[in-house]
């Protein structure tokens, strides 16, 4: 009987994996179309791309919700005792995703995908023209889709919880609010102390850095820290992002000749995402064993590389000579200490992606409050520009000059990615905890970084995070990797240890 059950399970399980592979390949094609839309698509071709996106969403939905999927899951769940732990992981997550997908009508899925494709272009045009009014009806419809989706899945009054859970399974708005409340006061106090310091970085030294040489330097850095260009590439887009998987990883950045650090650190940030993707189990990329836990964990990987590792003195002890060689004329009058202070500059900035790591999380707290208001009805889409300005004054300490550097600055809402923003701050918390655990396990970490040797870091991250896929949720993975629950304490400790000596010493 046991042997019979094992054979039956293996056969059924193989069918499940084969179907998941088909579904995933459709997702990857849709991902490439989305990447192309932001990197290469001719402006007049946007209408056809919306139709293509809608068709692929429909095909993926139909492939995933066939009745056989439910039958296979029922059979495997009925034979749970004969499954391995890994098989249970695949069945558990597939059941969750399958049950949700079945509740979404195919027309809803298609219409939403087409709308999101069109809305990206509406957002890009509105941002360029500083014209929120033209974007407002698109965003209102996007929000309506988001609320309808949550309602179809039975979340009702907890629509925002659904979207947070979509990006970070198990998280809720209340849990996030508790973590953010514990962070806000100490973070504001620290940032005000630093901003009030008489020692400030001079960013005016960065002028006239040719884009082609920026790209040359960035590629050298990314190759050294571990991005595999044989399985990925770096391009240019309006808003930097990373997409793809272990087999094909697509990253983008943007260049400004008067702000070379923007392209560098945005590229490193996306490379943190990419290294996570490239180090997930390649053979399991079609199923939960080879897929990321959620966006907080993903952001912990990008922020760890961007900030803790690549803004450190050991990192720049190694890369400063190459940076100076690449930009000898531009840096001739800039001392090493001035350069390092500029790399770790702290200043009020209305733009989230340009914010330093001390004030960055305040930008996330702002967006979290706005998203809560959008979903509980206390903020209408039409009121967003003024609500943004008011919260920016209250939380960040400045008022955006216009909507382009306020409510229109981020791409996320154009794609319906409500609930994503909290992941950045949660990821910063986890990154700081990982940093201290990494230092404990690798006492000579600074020597590795200073020598430009990053393999030990990648191996540690693979062992602690990447190899697990979706076996554990964010909280459990954090505990296993760092020995403690996810919280703000390590982040506050790290920020004080990194920035107090620079500005308050």
Q: What CATH number corresponds to the domain at position 455?
A: 1.10.1370.30
338 is catalytic: no
* Upper half-sphere CA count for residue 41 (Cβ side, 13 Å): 22
160 is a domain residue? no
User: In terms of domains, do 266 and 345 share one?
Assistant: yes
User: In terms of domains, do 196 and 55 share one?
Assistant: no
User: In terms of domains, do 185 and 66 share one?
Assistant: no
User: In terms of domains, do 205 and 56 share one?
Assistant: no
How many Cβ atoms from other residues are within 10 Å of residue 117's Cβ?
Answer: 25
Helices (H), 40-66: 46-64
484 is a domain residue? yes
Of the residues 114, 270, 299, 357, only one is catalytic, namely 270
User: In terms of domains, do 121 and 184 share one?
Assistant: no
* Upper half-sphere CA count for residue 282 (Cβ side, 13 Å): 8
49 is a domain residue? yes
User: In terms of domains, do 126 and 178 share one?
Assistant: no
How many Cβ atoms from other residues are within 10 Å of residue 330's Cβ?
Answer: 19
User: In terms of domains, do 179 and 112 share one?
Assistant: no
Q: Which residues span the domain enclosing 488?
A: 173-504
pTM for this model (two decimals): 0.94
User: In terms of domains, do 421 and 499 share one?
Assistant: yes
Structure tokens at 460: 């540690």
User: In terms of domains, do 121 and 187 share one?
Assistant: no
Q: How would you classify the pairing of strands 249-253 and 232-236?
A: parallel
What's the distance, CA 99 to chain centroid? 25
Closest CA to 282 of 318, 249, 328, 320: 249
From CA 450, how far away is CA 200, in angstroms rounded? 25
User: In terms of domains, do 107 and 191 share one?
Assistant: no
Contacts within 8 Å (CB) and 24+ apart, 407-410: 407/132, 408/123, 408/126, 408/127, 408/130, 408/132, 408/135, 409/127, 409/350, 409/351, 409/352, 409/353, 410/239, 410/352, 410/367
- Mind listing the pLDDT tens digit of every residue in the chain (505 residues)? 334 344 455 699 999 999 999 999 999 999 999 999 999 999 999 999 999 999 999 999 999 999 999 999 999 999 999 999 999 999 999 999 999 999 999 999 999 999 999 999 999 999 999 999 999 999 999 999 999 999 999 999 999 999 999 999 999 999 999 999 999 999 999 999 999 999 998 888 889 999 999 999 999 999 999 999 999 999 999 989 999 999 999 999 999 999 999 999 999 999 999 999 999 999 999 999 999 999 999 999 999 999 999 999 999 999 999 999 999 999 999 999 999 999 999 999 999 999 999 999 999 999 999 999 999 999 999 999 999 999 999 999 999 999 999 999 999 999 999 999 999 999 999 999 999 999 999 999 999 999 999 999 999 999 999 999 999 999 999 999 999 999 999 999 999 999 999 999 7
372 is a domain residue? yes
85 is a domain residue? yes
480 is a domain residue? yes
User: In terms of domains, do 112 and 193 share one?
Assistant: no
The beta strand positions in 390-480, using DSSP E, are: none
User: In terms of domains, do 125 and 177 share one?
Assistant: no
Structure tokens at 164: 């947070």
150 is a domain residue? no
* Upper half-sphere CA count for residue 352 (Cβ side, 13 Å): 24
What's the number of domains the chain is made of?
A: 2
């Amino acid at each position: 009987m046991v042997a019979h059950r094992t054979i039956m399970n293996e056969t059924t399980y193989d069918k499940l994996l084969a179907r998941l592979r088909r579904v995933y390949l459709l997702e990857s094609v849709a991902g490439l179309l989305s990447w192309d839309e932001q990197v290469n698509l001719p402006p007049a071709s946007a209408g056809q791309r919306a139709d293509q996106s809608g068709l692929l969403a429909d095909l993926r939905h139909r492939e995933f919700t066939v009745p056989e999927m439910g039958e296979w899951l029922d059979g495997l769940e009925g034979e749970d005792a004969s499954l391995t732990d890994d098989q249970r992981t695949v069945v558990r997550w597939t059941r969750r995703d399958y049950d949700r997908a079945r509740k979404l009508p195919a027309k809803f899925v298609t219409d939403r995908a087409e709308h999101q494709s069109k809305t990206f272009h509406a957002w890009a045009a509105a941002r360029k023209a500083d014209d929120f009014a033209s974007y407002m009806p698109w965003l209102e419809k996007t929000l309506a889709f988001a609320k309808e989706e949550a309602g179809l899945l039975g979340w009702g009054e907890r629509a925002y919880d659904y979207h947070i859970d979509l990006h970070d399974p198990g998280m809720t708005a209340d849990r996030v609010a508790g973590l953010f409340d514990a962070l806000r006061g100490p973070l504001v106090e620290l940032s005000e102390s630093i901003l009030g310091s008489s020692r400030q970085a001079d960013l005016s030294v960065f002028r006239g850095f040719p884009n082609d040489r920026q790209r040359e330097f960035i590629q050298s850095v990314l190759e050294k820290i571990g991005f595999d260009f044989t399985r990925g590439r770096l391009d240019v887009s309006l808003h930097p992002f990373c997409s793809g998987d272990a087999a094909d990883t697509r990253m983008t950045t943007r260049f400004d000749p008067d702000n070379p650090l923007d392209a560098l650190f945005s590229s490193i940030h996306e490379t943190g995402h990419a290294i996570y993707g490239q180090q997930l189990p390649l053979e399991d990329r079609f199923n939960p064993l080879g897929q990321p836990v959620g966006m907080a964990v993903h952001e912990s990987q990008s922020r760890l590389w961007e900030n803790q590792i690549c803004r450190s003195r050991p990192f720049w002890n190694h890369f400063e000579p190459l940076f100076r060689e690449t930009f000898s004329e531009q840096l001739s009058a800039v001392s090493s200490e001035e350069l390092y202070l500029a790399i770790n500059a702290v200043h009020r900035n209305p733009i989230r992606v340009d914010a330093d790591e001390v004030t960055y999380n305040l930008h996330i707290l702002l967006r979290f409050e706005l998203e809560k208001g959008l979903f509980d009805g206390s903020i209408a889409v039409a009121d967003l520009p003024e609500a943004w300005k008011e919260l920016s004054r209250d939380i960040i300490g400045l008022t955006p000059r216009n909507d382009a550097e306020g409510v229109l600055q981020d791409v996320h809402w154009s794609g319906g990615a409500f609930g994503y923003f909290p992941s950045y701050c949660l990821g910063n918390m986890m990154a700081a905890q990982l940093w201290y655990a990494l230092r404990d396990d690798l006492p000579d970490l600074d020597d590795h970084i200073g020598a430009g040797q990053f393999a030990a870091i990648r191996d540690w991250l693979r062992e602690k995070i990447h190899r697990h896929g979706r076996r554990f949720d964010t909280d459990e993975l954090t505990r296993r990797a760092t020995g403690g629950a996810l919280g703000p304490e390590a982040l506050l400790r790290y920020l004080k240890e990194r920035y107090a000596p620079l500005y308050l010493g």
